[in-house]
Amino acid sequence: MRKILLATALLATGLGTSVSAFEQEGVNEGNNRLALSAMYYQESQDGQDEKPRTLYIFGSFSRFFTDSIEAGVGLSYSLTDPDTDADSTISYTAYPFVNYNFDIASPTMVPYVGAGLAFFGFDSGDGNSDTNLGWNTEAGLKMFITEMAAFTPAVYYQDNGDFGDQLGLKVGVEIYF
């Protein structure tokens, strides 16, 4: 087991410092970014055996105002299957956001953190619907696969006020232009 952990640590260290055939050119002042990502999670609820399953689809557009700071707007759509006899719930969110991208001197990896407001609504399928204001935050790693395209895993958290919160792992692709 120790050998596996050591090999994994060495591989992860090597990924961030290896010499690559290209350098990312996406995270630069004046560039734009289009992103598409997804997140799946199964919510645990106190005292219940059923765990609702939710699939989120995110799309966003942003602009880099400096090499580190980008701001944009995103939309998300989610479908929750309650795993019970209840109706499925559909929700949607519009969220302006700001991301800070760290310069770590890696030619192909850029860690980032971000935060934004969340204007969301839902329709439970049984005629019950509502809207609310919340906030979100995320931290991730832009792993460039070409000079202007990246694979991006991120930890995402959204607080929906009285309607609860979500925490999950988002994975997506980004195109820069």
Q: What is the pLDDT of residue 53?
A: 78
Q: Where are the domains of the chain?
A: 25-176
Residue 116's Cβ-count burial label (10 Å; 0-12, 13-18, 19+) is: buried
Q: Find which of 4-13, 71-80, 141-150 is predicted with most confidence, using mean pLDDT.
A: 141-150
The Cα 141–Cα 125 span in angstroms is 36
User: Predicted confidence band at 98 (pLDDT cuts at 50, 70, 90)?
Assistant: very high
pLDDT at 17: 47
| Architecture field, domain 25-176 | Beta Barrel (2.40)
Confidence category of residue 74, pLDDT binned at 50, 70, 90: very high
Predicted model pTM: 0.78
Please compute, for residue 152, the number of CA atoms within 13 A of its CA located in the half-sphere on the CB side. 32
How do residues 2-41 score in pLDDT, each as one tens digit? 555 555 555 455 554 444 578 899 999 999 999 999 998 7
Which among 152, 143, 145, 144 has a CA at the least distance from the CA of 170? 152
Q: Higher-confidence residue: 8 or 136? A: 136
As a whole number, mean pLDDT of residues 170-176 equals 96
- For residue 114, pLDDT over 60 is answered with yes
